Structure 1
Amino acid sequence: MMDIDEGIQHSTLSSFADDTNINQNVKSLEDVEELQKDLNTVYNWARKNNMVFNNDKFELLRCGPLENLKSPTDIYTEDGQAISTSREVQCLGVYLSEYGKFQRHFQETVKKANKVAGWILRTFGTREAECLVTQWKALVQSILDYCSQLWSPHKVADIQALESVQRLFTRQIRGMKSLDYWSRLKSLKMYSQQRRRERYIAIYVWNILEGLVPNPSGIVLHPSDRAGRQCARRAPPSQAPHKIKTLLGYSFNINGPKIFNCLPKEPRDKKGCSVEVFKRDLAEIPDEPPVTGYSQLCRAVSNSIPDKLDLEQRDTGLRRCGGPP
């Protein structure tokens, strides 16, 4: 399938195993025609290679506000059937919506993680930390981590819903029920789910700068002798609608460099080392997830890495001035 994209002129085609996606930025009827031409090219490739696509699995996701191009136009399969439009599609395990949000993915992730966590507690009679934490890391954490750099939420309700899976599970561990959630995390040497997601984002940006992973977001290095290694700052288009600015503002393209740039200079400047060496310096950032009953105790605006480091800097400044710690 290495040559499946040969002849594609207007669209972007991507394949992984038996999943193939073709994307086109549609702003006019001519763009619709160009997308259909590229699809026909793929159909011709399949015939030449004695392959048959399963038309029943075709899905069409239309994003954007141009309703005048959505209703009157159709995209067709090889045998001339109009491909049905879906409001949400699942691509490599992640639910994408026509509005660019991941609400369905949050819900499905929480549901699946709770199901597996419940199975662990029903199957294993022990409540010892070593056993349950091992099962958690092996079977549940991977569900909550998968592709989180892409869909990491910014709304408090979504953050708390994902955090609640770990909060309820750790409460069942022997000796943990009497401790609050923040204390349980410290005792079990675990990160909150929000901290894990932001660490993954920072680590992925570092990997991009090290040339270890692809850079589809176009992140650019902007070094400084004084501030150290940083990414060029990015911002949503100033003329974009508010909802678009919000979506873009919390996307990896913009949020990734923001999180990386706020890290202390020492980890940002690490080069030519392993990921494990880079990760060590991220362990000292306070981790106080905003779960129900504890949010009011947080001195920072949120538990995000930028807000926590900003609070530390303010505290350091107060101590230098002789103020309260």
Structure 2
Amino acid sequence: MALTQDLLEVCKWSSEWLLPLNIAKCRVLYIGNANPQHTYLIDGVDMCKSDSHVDLGVLVTSTLSWSEHVLSTIRKANKMVYLLGRAFARSHISVISKLYKSYVRPVLEFVNYIWSPILQRDIELLESVQRRATRIPFGRIWPQYADRLAMMGLPTLSNRRKRGDLILTFRALKDPQSPIRHLFPLNTLSRTRGHCFKLVKDKFRSTVRQHFISNRVFETWNALPASIVEADTVTNFKIKFDNYNG
């Protein structure tokens, strides 16, 4: 097996360079219901099995469900909202807006093109953090959520995710050296009106694949006017899309 051979090479390298592996911290994560779950060894010791693991700040589970990561993200963001509320209660709207954009929203949006929520429950939980943050400058009596967003110049997090997905798609398609270019296959046989960067929708047999980024952006991206998709820079794409989207 390729993975077993890779582990042997890692063990060999660590031995040659006198950098012993901490076996207690090594984990194996089996993904998928049909996974045969082979046993993997490091220096003859079985690796511990795990149902989830944090990799580069993203909590990956064996089912590829992002609900656990969403909950973890919400906990971190809510702590920050609490601190902002304590330190800047009743501050001017513009101040809270800047603080939220600087300290809270980046937590909620960290690489979210990978773990973009599927379940309505997760979507609403993420949005609830922004709802709570936008109440800070108003004290105990606050306007409706839509009005607070307008006052603070904020879109919903759902709209932000859609915009971010489109920007990532634009970057991937316009940069011939992009390492993720292959994730967005173009429909070269399309004869319909519109731009020349229309995507092909991936076939899927699972919910995870159904909501993969290339499928998430398929309809919205293909429906964009050519004047937006054919922008010469990312900045111009953002400006044109924002004007188009109102």
SS at match of 1:281: helix
Q: Please list every run of 5 or more consecutive structure 1 residues that lacks an aligned counterpart in the other structure.
A: 1-32, 288-325
Query: Which residue of 2 is the match for residue 99 of structure 1?
Result: 63
Q: 2:227 matched to 1:266? A: yes
Does the 8 Å contact 2:112/2:161 carry over to 1?
yes
User: Pairwise mapping of residues 309-324 of structure 1 onto structure 2 (< 5 A)?
Assistant: none
**Cα deviation, residue 48, structure 1:** 2.7
**Cα deviation, residue 128, structure 1:** 0.9
User: Pairwise mapping of residues 265-284 of structure 1 onto structure 2 (< 5 A)?
Assistant: 265-270=226-231, 272-273=232-233, 275-284=234-243
Measure, in 1, the Cα distance between the counterparts of 2:170 and 2:141.
Answer: 37
Q: Percent identity?
A: 24
Once the two structures are superposed, residues 113-169 of structure 1 have per-residue CA deviations (whole angstroms, 9 ceiling, x without a partner) of: 011111111122442112211111111111011010011112221111100101111
Question: Aligned to 1:248, which of 205, 209, 215?
Answer: 209
Query: Which residue of 1 is the match for residue 24 of structure 2?
Result: 56
Describe the shift of the 1:160–1:66 C-alpha distance in structure 2 as closer, same or farther (beyond 3 A): same
Q: 2:149 matched to 1:185? A: yes
Question: Aligned to 1:85, which of 38, 42, 49?
Answer: 49
Query: Which residue of 2 is the match for residue 143 of structure 1?
Result: 107
Question: Aligned to 1:167, which of 131, 134, 152?
Answer: 131
| TM-score normalised by structure 1 residue count | 0.69
Q: Please list every run of 5 or more consecutive structure 2 residues that lacks an aligned counterpart in the other structure.
A: none
| 1:35 alignment partner AA | L
Q: 2:168 matched to 1:230? A: no
Q: 2:43 matched to 1:75? A: no
Does the 8 Å contact 1:205/1:257 carry over to 2?
no
Does the 8 Å contact 1:127/1:173 carry over to 2?
yes
SS at match of 1:134: helix
Once the two structures are superposed, residues 12-61 of structure 1 have per-residue CA deviations (whole angstroms, 9 ceiling, x without a partner) of: xxxxxxxxxxxxxxxxxxxxx43211210121122233322221221111
Query: Which residue of 1 is the match for residue 186 of structure 2?
Result: 221
**Cα deviation, residue 214, structure 1:** 2.2
Measure, in 2, the Cα distance between the counterparts of 1:252 and 1:65.
Answer: 22
Once the two structures are superposed, residues 99-126 of structure 1 have per-residue CA deviations (whole angstroms, 9 ceiling, x without a partner) of: 1111110100111101111111112244
Query: Which residue of 2 is the match for residue 25 of structure 1?
Result: none
Describe the shift of the 1:266–1:124 C-alpha distance in structure 2 as closer, same or farther (beyond 3 A): same
Does the 8 Å contact 1:233/1:258 carry over to 2?
no
Measure, in 1, the Cα distance between the counterparts of 2:223 and 2:120.
Answer: 21
Does the 8 Å contact 2:31/2:64 carry over to 1?
yes
Measure, in 2, the Cα distance between the counterparts of 1:55 and 1:48.
Answer: 17
| 1:269 alignment partner AA | E
Please identify the structure whose Cα radius of gyration is greater. Answer: 1
Describe the shift of the 1:44–1:206 C-alpha distance in structure 2 as closer, same or farther (beyond 3 A): same
Q: Kindly tell me the number of residue pairs found equivalent between the two proteins.
A: 243
Q: 2:176 matched to 1:208? A: no
Does the 8 Å contact 1:95/1:105 carry over to 2?
yes
* Farther-moved stretch of structure 1 (204-213 vs 43-52): 43-52
User: Pairwise mapping of residues 29-68 of structure 1 onto structure 2 (< 5 A)?
Assistant: 33-66=1-34
SS at match of 2:133: helix
Does the 8 Å contact 2:27/2:47 carry over to 1?
yes
SS at match of 2:54: strand
